[in-house]
Amino acid sequence: MNSAPEVSEQLDIVAGVPMRSLRCGNSAGGPHVVVIPGLGALGYLVPYARAVGATGAVCTLLDLPGFGTPGGLASRPTIRGIAEAAAAWVRACTSTGDIVLLGHSTGAQAALHGGLLLQEDRPPTLVVLAGPTVAPRQRSLLRLACAAPAAYRFDSPGELVVLPDLLRTRADLILMLRSAIADRPEDHVRSLRSPLLVTAGSRDAFAPTSWLSAIATAAPPSCGARVVQLAGSHNNPYTHPSLLAKVVVAASSPVTCQVTVKVRIMR
């Protein structure tokens, strides 16, 4: 395995809008893993980007809707708005090669919509829903708040690096949460054609096994949907970045993607 390269900041103009991203890795031989963060918080995913870079693949973290970008948002702070911006970035900035579109938490919901938007002209090699929200029994702000202590109980205080960005954008954050609650991944996934991987930490109260399986089962058989539970809780891309990176990069191969729905726990 290669040592992880440094993370570099990029600013691309997509459809006239500045879009910030963080990139790690420069190999042309592996997939390009494009990541949409949860709640628009980018910093906690830097260890994951480095872990992907260490495999020889390339990882780009999209700052969407733009909470970490000075001077305004790059998209509407809604699931659909973030998905549209992510799809536009993929079209504008990745003309060739295999694309893995991965979203974590609310970003997983946006990644699903982004995969649907791209499937006619730039279909992802793999769509990854990591720690996907919002499970049917949690579809209110109060229910999400009640699930949060269990979802984060095994996570690291280091993740609090994202708090300044979130505190600056409280009104937009509430809008994003309401958009996520109104979204129905189990319905939208029925139209997906790309291979699908659904994953979460085994102790993630936001993404219990039943919810992961419901999403994968609703996907068309042609997606070869797979459920893989990993160690950790909701933010396992931060606490177990190398494990998630290995699973995603391995699953991006067409040989490993076309499998039946199966739950595995990896530690």
Pairing of strands 7-14, 32-36: unpaired
Mean model confidence pLDDT for the chain: 87
217 pLDDT tier (thresholds 50, 70, 90): very high
Q: What is the mean pLDDT of residues 108-135?
A: 97
Helix intervals (H) in the chain: 46-54, 79-93, 106-118, 141-151, 163-168, 170-182, 185-188, 209-218, 236-239, 241-251, 254-257
Give residue 149's pLDDT band: very low, low, confident or very high (50, 70, 90): confident
pLDDT digits (tens, 9 = 90+) for 47-79: 999 999 999 899 999 999 988 777 778 999 999
Q: Which residues, 6+ apart, have CB-to-CB distance to 209 below 8 Å?
A: 227, 229, 263
Average pLDDT of 154-162?
A: 57
Cβ-contact 47, 237 below 8 angstroms? yes
Percent of the chain with pLDDT over 90: 69
pLDDT band, residue 253 (cuts 50/70/90): confident
pTM: 0.89
Place of tokens 């990176």: 245
Task: Give the range among 137-141, 155-159, 223-227, 232-236 with minimum mean pLDDT.
Answer: 155-159
Instruction: Answer yes or no: are the C-beta atoms of 57 and 91 closer than 8 Å.
Output: no
Cα-based distances in Å from 12 to 65, 86, 165: 14, 12, 20
The whole-number average pLDDT for the span 82-99 is: 93
More confident residue, 145 or 1: 145
Q: Residue 257's pLDDT is what?
A: 38
Which of the two residues, 68 and 33, has the higher pLDDT score? 33
Query: φ and ψ at 117, to 5 degrees?
Result: -70, -30
Give the β-pairing of 126-130 and 226-230. Answer: unpaired
Q: Is the confidence at residue 157, as pLDDT, over 50?
A: yes
> Which residue ranges form the domains of the chain, and what is each CATH number?
7-266 (3.40.50.1820)
Nearest to 130, CA basis, from 106, 153, 114: 106
Closest of 35, 187, 15, 27 to residue 97, by C-alpha: 27
What is the band of 258 on the pLDDT scale with cuts at 50, 70, 90?
Answer: very low
140 three-state secondary structure: coil
Residues with Cβ within 8 Å of residue 191, at least 6 apart in sequence: 116
pLDDT at site 82: 97
Q: What is the largest CA-CA distance in the chain?
A: 45
| Confidence band for 28, pLDDT divided at 50, 70 and 90 | low
Confidence tier at 260 by pLDDT (50, 70, 90) = very low
**Residue 267 reports pLDDT greater than 60:** no
Peptide bond into 161 cis (omega under 30): no
